[in-house]
Amino acid sequence: MPLISSAKKRKLITELAQMLQQRPGPLRLFAKFPLVKQLSRFYIAGEKMSDAIRVAKEMRAEGKMVTIDHLGEETKRPIQAEEDAAVYKKLIQAISKEELVDHADLSLKLTQVGLNTGEGFCVEKLTEVLELAQERRVTVWVDMEGSKYTEGTIKIIEALRPRFPNLRGVIQAMMKSSNSHVARLLKLGATIRLCKGAYKEPPDIAYQHRAGDIRANFLKIVDKQLFPSKIYHGIATHDEFIIKETIKLAKKHKLTEKDFEFQMLYGVKKELQDELIKLKYQLRLYVPFGEDWLPYFLRRVSENPDIAEDFTHDLIERLHTEHNIDLHWLHPHFKHRE
């Protein structure tokens, strides 16, 4: 059987993901397939909060930390934002009750807690979450969303960070404004999660070449801004080149393995995760849960070729090693372990 080129494989995966996103009927049907649900559990804790807590405990046993995300975004109705904020408050209570404070924190999107309804309403809901989180010693990361929300997100973090030192921010290296946004958060003394970025953005505001400009900007931010600040930061990437260069930069800036953390998606590149743990580096996994798991999965795949490649690469290996299903012909550059 002839090999499918990497470019064609990516195109097939992203086109299928985009088609399903645009058609609610097939999307619902696809989500009901037992195999689809089973495979999603490699990367998503489950539909219930208890699933996320279970995964957090499992990862703790492996020496890994987690940040838990309740799936959902672009909330338009105030009542839904109220409900999402309530879920996060219950999650904070669960993290505290299960004595996971030193191993688990949470990540949320401002559109989940009412940013589309109004900035004032969003600040009110986020403040409720942060007050409880601070009381229970739980850290809260505010995820960065698409570019139309970037400035609003930074402003809200700037407004609330002085009151809530448990509030952390996320910056996407693909954005051409990322350097100035990093500077604004560092001025607050805030911990930053630096990632490449998962949204499709136009070339006038975002770098387009993930192995070129985005990599270069990512490492420039680490070298010139994050590591010199001596603040504990999160380096969120599956890119092995960036990981190796980050380790070199940590040595250059005389940082130890405990002075920063790597962050990765739950279930992706598990071998690399385990290798970082063996090398004594701090590692935090992004663990999503909720009923909206399939839209999350499809958006990750359709908008980010690197993640599509990582998911495919990892899934092929899992199917081979755990279920004896050989699909290596789909990936011409992938060699599985013997």
pLDDT of the chain, 338 residues: tens digit per residue:
445 555 565 566 566 655 555 565 555 565 666 656 666 777 899 999 999 999 999 999 999 999 999 998 778 899 999 999 999 999 999 999 999 999 999 999 999 999 999 999 999 999 999 999 999 999 999 999 999 999 999 999 999 999 999 999 999 999 999 999 999 999 999 999 999 997 889 999 999 877 799 999 999 999 999 999 999 999 999 999 999 999 999 999 999 999 999 999 998 889 999 999 999 999 999 999 998 777 777 666 655 555 566 666 666 666 667 656 555 544 444 444 33
Is residue 58 located within the same domain as residue 198?
Answer: yes
Is residue 271 located within the same domain as residue 221?
Answer: yes
Is residue 208 located within the same domain as residue 327?
Answer: no
Tally of domains within the chain: 2
Domain holding 26, by residue range, is 1-44+298-338
Angle between helices 293-303 and 6-22 (to 10 degrees): 140
Is residue 268 located within the same domain as residue 232?
Answer: yes
To the query of whether residue 284 is one of the catalytic residues in this protein, the response is no
Is residue 92 located within the same domain as residue 230?
Answer: yes
Is residue 137 located within the same domain as residue 230?
Answer: yes
Distance CA 90, CA 133 (A): 10
H or E element that contains 29: helix 24-32
For 45, the token pair is 């804790």
Using an 8 Å Cβ cutoff, are 246 and 215 in contact?
A: no
pLDDT digits (tens, 9 = 90+) for 148-165: 999 999 999 999 999 999
To the query of whether residue 143 is one of the catalytic residues in this protein, the response is yes
H or E element that contains 190: none
Is residue 247 located within the same domain as residue 98?
Answer: yes
Which residue out of 69, 143, 239, 314 is catalytically annotated? 143
Using an 8 Å Cβ cutoff, are 172 and 207 in contact?
A: no
Is residue 91 located within the same domain as residue 114?
Answer: yes
Which residue out of 161, 168, 193, 215 is catalytically annotated? 193
Residue 43 is predicted with a pLDDT of: 83
The position carrying tokens 């953390």 is: 261
Phi, psi of 162, rounded to the nearest 5 degrees: -60, -30
Distance of CA 332 to the CA centre of its chain: 27
Q: Could you tell me how many helices (H) and strands (E) the chain has, helices first? A: 14, 8
Is residue 133 located within the same domain as residue 148?
Answer: yes
Residue 291 is predicted with a pLDDT of: 84
Residue 28 is predicted with a pLDDT of: 58
Residue 34 is predicted with a pLDDT of: 62
Is residue 17 located within the same domain as residue 158?
Answer: no
Distance CA 135, CA 169 (A): 19
CATH code at 178? 3.20.20.220
Is residue 277 located within the same domain as residue 338?
Answer: no
Is residue 193 located within the same domain as residue 308?
Answer: no
Instruction: Decide which of 250, 269, 289 is a domain's last residue.
Output: 289
Distance CA 241, CA 91 (A): 35
